[in-house]
């Protein structure tokens, strides 16, 4: 089933940073980015099987989306996933007004009004790809992600796109298989397998998860620390006050050396620290 829909949002929306983030993180097999048309296409999980969605910012107040779904009943589910992924339900007037009151953030908000926070269409996928990208360059992370999907993903019926592997599939593997297929360290492969086992055992990686359980169970896994949990709280939980104070790019943007200093500076920005984070990250990307 294929159909075109329009997804409205509240303007303003400075879209260049979102498109840049989508392009920079695109994993071959899961996603394709067309810089000429500004169209980003990716696999979105759905109840009857993977869908493929192409999105394009072609108007001042909406996103044009083409959904190719395995079943017509999946379209509402996919639409909701895309809205969360692109933060289309944000109220930029409320967020921008709050952050503009702070001298450090006001110039960023003025330069990029309506900046959104990149979310997730699949919390397990985002968590695994985040682990694969720990302590390596963005280019290396994309390479690992592409190898991972090629080795363990499930082909879809749509133009060579591959669905991300299910937790149960990965949980059943010996970590050495993951290590060899992707080129990871043994420790990183064990983290991926442990994450898959936890997800199979009931760890909820989605917008409706209990935040306390989410953090506690992730932190109990080998190789997952506070930065990863805070980052996933932003992208997977949709926590708009989550804030990875230990992030190196964030600290560089703030001109501080320690996570404690970054956290102290952020206190006045509550409850919108995730938006402040994306403003500061974006400022570094556009230097």
CB 244 within 8 A of CB 277: yes
User: pLDDT tens digit string along 131-156?
Assistant: 999 989 999 999 999 999 999 999 99
**Alpha carbons 187 and 179: distance in angstroms, whole number:** 9
Binned at pLDDT 50, 70 and 90, residue 188 comes out as very high
Q: Would you state the pLDDT for residue 176? A: 98
pTM summary value: 0.97
Say which CATH class 123-237 falls into: mainly alpha
**Alpha carbons 1 and 252: distance in angstroms, whole number:** 47
Write down the CATH number for the domain with range 2-89. 3.30.310.20
Binned at pLDDT 50, 70 and 90, residue 96 comes out as very high
Q: Would you state the pLDDT for residue 199? A: 98
pLDDT of residue 59 exceeding 90, the answer is no
Q: What residue segments make up the domains of the chain, in order of their start?
A: 2-89, 123-237
Binned at pLDDT 50, 70 and 90, residue 287 comes out as low
If you average pLDDT over residues 89-112, what whole number do you get?
Answer: 98
Binned at pLDDT 50, 70 and 90, residue 2 comes out as confident
Q: How many CB atoms lie within 10 A of CB 107?
A: 12
Average pLDDT over the chain reads 96
If you average pLDDT over residues 172-179, what whole number do you get?
Answer: 98
The torsion defined by the Cα of 168, 173, 176 and 180, in degrees rounded to 10, comes to -80
């Amino acid at each position: 089933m294929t159909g075109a829909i329009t997804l409205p949002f509240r303007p303003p929306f400075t879209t260049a940073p979102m498109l840049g983030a989508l392009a920079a993180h695109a994993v071959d097999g899961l996603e394709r980015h067309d810089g000429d048309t500004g169209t980003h296409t990716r696999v979105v999980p759905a109840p009857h099987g993977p869908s493929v969605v192409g999105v394009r910012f072609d108007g001042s107040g909406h996103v044009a989306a083409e959904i190719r779904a395995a079943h017509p009943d999946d379209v509402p589910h996919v639409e909701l996933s895309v809205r969360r992924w692109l933060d289309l339900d944000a109220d930029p007037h409320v967020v921008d007004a709050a952050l503009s009151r702070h001298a450090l953030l006001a110039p960023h908000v003025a330069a990029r009004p309506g900046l959104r926070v990149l979310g997730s269409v699949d919390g397990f996928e985002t968590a695994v790809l985040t682990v694969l990208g720990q302590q390596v360059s963005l280019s290396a992370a994309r390479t690992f992600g592409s190898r991972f999907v090629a080795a363990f993903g499930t082909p879809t019926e749509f133009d060579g796109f591959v669905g991300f592997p299910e937790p149960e599939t990965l949980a059943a593997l010996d970590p050495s298989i993951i290590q060899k297929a992707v080129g990871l360290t043994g420790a990183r492969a064990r983290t991926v397998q442990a994450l898959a086992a936890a997800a199979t055992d009931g760890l909820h990686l989605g917008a409706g998860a209990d935040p306390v359980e989410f953090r506690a169970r992730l932190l109990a896994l080998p190789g997952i620390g506070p930065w990863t949990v805070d980052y996933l709280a932003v992208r997977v939980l949709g926590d708009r006050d989550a804030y990875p104070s230990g992030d190196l790019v964030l600290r560089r943007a703030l001109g501080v050396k320690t996570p404690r200093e970054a956290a102290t500076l952020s206190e006045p920005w509550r409850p919108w620290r995730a938006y402040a984070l994306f403003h500061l990250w974006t400022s570094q990307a556009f230097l």
